[in-house]
A and B are shown apart, each in its own frame.
Chain A
Amino acid sequence: MHMKQHMRRRALVAGALTTATVVALTGCGAGGGDSAGPTEITFSYLWGGEEAKVLEEIIADFNGSQDEIVVKGVSSPDTQKQLTSMSSSNGSFDISDNFGNTVGAWASKGILAPLDDAIAAEGIDVDDFVPSAMEQMTYDGKIYSLPIAIHSFQLLYNTQLLEEAGVTPPTTMDELAQAIQKLTKVDDSGKITQLGLGSANDSTTLTTLGYAFGGTWDGEDGPTPADAGNLEALQWYQDNVIEPVGAEAMATFVSGQGEYLSAQDPFFSGKVAMIIDGEWRSASAAKIAPDFEWGVTAIPAASADLENSTQVTASTLFIPANSKHKEEAATFLAYLVSEKPMEKFAVALGNLAGRTSLSDSAAFADLQDFDVWAAAASSPNAKSLSSLPYSAEYATDLATAFDEVVRLTATPEEAIATVEERMANYSTK
């Protein structure tokens, strides 16, 4: 009997030790305070480097401003880890960020906490946020995210190259086509030495051009990749950007171009005369290529009613459904998207602020031509890709189709037909 008792005691000790280890290993991540002290919440953000530094300043400002909540900032640029944390019942953070196009997919699966009650309780004025961005924040009639910064796309040009070629910044698609022709240079062996219109990212350039031709990528009942405007844009791109130089020469040129936003970036180094890109170019040009002379203008419109067409994307903040401190997280979220912190953050990143009331703020005055992007973001022709359960699949299929268009291996109709075929299997929840 004695032996049995001994064994049982040993088993109990072993069990207790195991439990203690498990608790110690898993429990240390759980924040929270008791009734006596402030509640600790974790803000896990994808930003790093300079951007993270500014964010930490904003967190310190918030922590100093009150004594109910302590925010702990964690820079974790791993989206995979972010997702894993949200899939368990006990998450590792209470507030985080991502891009607007993920909102629908995550909201539909119950990953994100709806914010409507918090917005009302905190008195956040939703009408002040950029309308096209707010469309992405909403799923099934509820708001799941708020934009801290937004992005719009415009046509940038190299002032010197345009002057040399006697080209004025284009205002219509025909003028843009002529400008591309004059600014593209090919040597005797067929190698491109200078490209008229470059692309930082084919997918964004082509979806934005789709809007500029009056197209739309989403409808009431799902994706509309074969919209006439979209097909017209893709055809225009094949005819005016790729065909004149050939797909192979283009591939070689793209392969040899330097890293994006580095000193070797083809736009900054003068290898590309014009490019469609976002407002962060203004801040990075000042940092990376301070002597570089450039200008920015609205993306040419295919017709007068399409003036100031652009695409808006958003950097958003959200509270995961598994957060244990949703109320406190909402208080901090309200602080982050309030005017001063939002402005500080946007200026540091060289991004547009999520609020329209900040669009003419003097804080952005040092950034060259920033107002051109800001004006476009609030234009009625500013559109954004909708955020629905299938957004990631749709974006991937569009990227594949655009790749075929750019390599001239398919006509726009053929490439888009493949996307339409695949739409049948998209996630609906």
Chain B
Amino acid sequence: MTSASALRVRRENTPAGPGGRARRRRSRRSTLIGLAFASPFIVGFLFLFAYPIAASAYYSFTDFNLFQSPEWVGLANYVQMFNDGVFWKSLANTAVLTIFGVPLAIGIALAGAHLLNTPVRGQPLYRALVYLPSIVPVVVGGYLWRWLLNAQYGFVNHFLSWFGIEGPAWLQQPEWTKPAIILMSLWTVGGTMIIYLAALQEVPQELYEAAELDGAGVWRRFTNVTWPTVSPVTLFQVIVSIIGFLQIFTQPYILSQERLNQAGSGPGQSMLSYAMYLYQNAFVFLKMGYASAMAWTLFIVTLIVSLIVLATSKKWVHDGAR
């Protein structure tokens, strides 16, 4: 007797009395109750995620201005994107910010975490201080940095002048605008630093002691003990930072703004990030179809970059720690 037929026999042997119906009813009831409890999430997911995602996929193949019915245009938006110089410019700007911003953010966070892990007086205070900028709203931070980066009155150039360096016109010279944006982004690196700090504290002290007995120097201890332990955290941070930089909006938007409520792009469009151009198309030019196509392209680019990082991670993320 196969198991399937055994099951059938057992079912057939069950008396078709009120007990069986009650069980079925009970199970249906518990399913309904379960669904009712999950309904806030299900409704939220369907209306706030699934529907907008599906709608934007559809809009990306249409000519849509938010107010009139979308008109199907096939691949026209995607084709236009390839011939749009400003699209490529915004993509290149974003790539530069990501390529320089991510390693800097990770490096500074890791180095800073080491400093915060040193037993010195006032350690909790330092830990709180590095995290402080992360709780300042990014828009407020943006206006603060506009002032800090002012070529004449700003503190950054004033600070540089102590070392005899004449600071540049950060926000007026195209070659200096991206360092300005990265500088402002690094201001909130404290969050990453705190996560690294937690990871560092997980490293077993006896491993350091053993390494020291073996005569390992600072660098050897870092590469052989610290790095393997923090590498999974690093993988997470790299992916999160890449996504953050690929979607960068507020910092360049505020730094490039000439007047309130006005969309700028900085000298030579050097501050026009991908997300800013997407926003411009959607809400300033009312080209929602084109903006949707840009959003999907960004999604695909982000996915590919993340997959590449994940693929390479096999080589540098320590297996034992995973």
Contact A111 B67 (CB under 8 A): yes
**Bound complex: CA A111 to CA B268 (Å):** 33
B170 within 8 A of A: yes
Looking at A142-150, A283-291, A401-409, the stretch in contact with chain B turns out to be: A401-409
A260 within 8 A of B: yes
**Bound complex: CA A392 to CA B65 (Å):** 13
Contact B173 A248 (CB under 8 A): yes
| Residue numbers in A under 8 Å from B32 (CB-CB) | 7
Contact A109 B261 (CB under 8 A): no
Given contacts A87-B66, A256-B152, contact A427 B173 (CB under 8 A): no
**Bound complex: CA A101 to CA B240 (Å):** 40
| Residue numbers in A under 8 Å from B85 (CB-CB) | 418, 421-422
Which of the residues A86, A111, A255, A396 comes within 8 Å of B152, measured between beta carbons? A255
Which of the residues B152, B259, B268 comes within 8 Å of A403, measured between beta carbons? B268
| Residue numbers in B under 8 Å from A87 (CB-CB) | 66-67
Which of the residues A110, A111, A256, A407 comes within 8 Å of B151, measured between beta carbons? A256
Contact B287 A427 (CB under 8 A): yes
B123 within 8 A of A: no
Contact A109 B286 (CB under 8 A): yes
Contact B283 A83 (CB under 8 A): yes
| Residue numbers in B under 8 Å from A254 (CB-CB) | 169, 172
Closest CB in chain A relative to B110 CB, distance in Å: 33
Closest CB in chain A relative to B262 CB, distance in Å: 9
Contact A109 B65 (CB under 8 A): yes
Contact A404 B268 (CB under 8 A): yes
Given contacts A7-B29, A7-B32, A87-B66, contact A255 B284 (CB under 8 A): no
Contact B150 A256 (CB under 8 A): yes
A9 within 8 A of B: no
Interface residues on A, range: 35 or more
Q: Mark B163-196, 1 if CB is under 8 A from A, else 0.
A: 0000001111110000000000000000000000
A429 within 8 A of B: yes
Contact A79 B261 (CB under 8 A): yes
List B residues at the A interface (Cβ < 8 Å): 25, 29, 32, 36, 65-68, 80, 84-86, 150-153, 169-174, 258-259, 261, 263-265, 267-269, 280, 283-287
List A residues at the B interface (Cβ < 8 Å): 3, 7, 14, 77, 79-80, 83, 86-87, 105, 109-111, 201, 248, 251-252, 254-258, 260, 390, 392-393, 396, 399-400, 403-404, 407, 409, 418, 421-422, 425, 427, 429
Interface contacts beyond A258-B153, A392-B284: sample of 20 additional A-B pairs, CB < 8 Å, sorted by A: A3-B25, A7-B29, A7-B32, A14-B36, A110-B67, A111-B67, A251-B172, A251-B267, A254-B169, A256-B152, A256-B169, A392-B286, A393-B285, A399-B264, A399-B265, A400-B269, A403-B267, A407-B268, A425-B84, A429-B68
Task: Give the 3 A-B residue pairs with the shortest CB-CB distance, closest first.
Answer: A256-B152, A255-B151, A255-B169
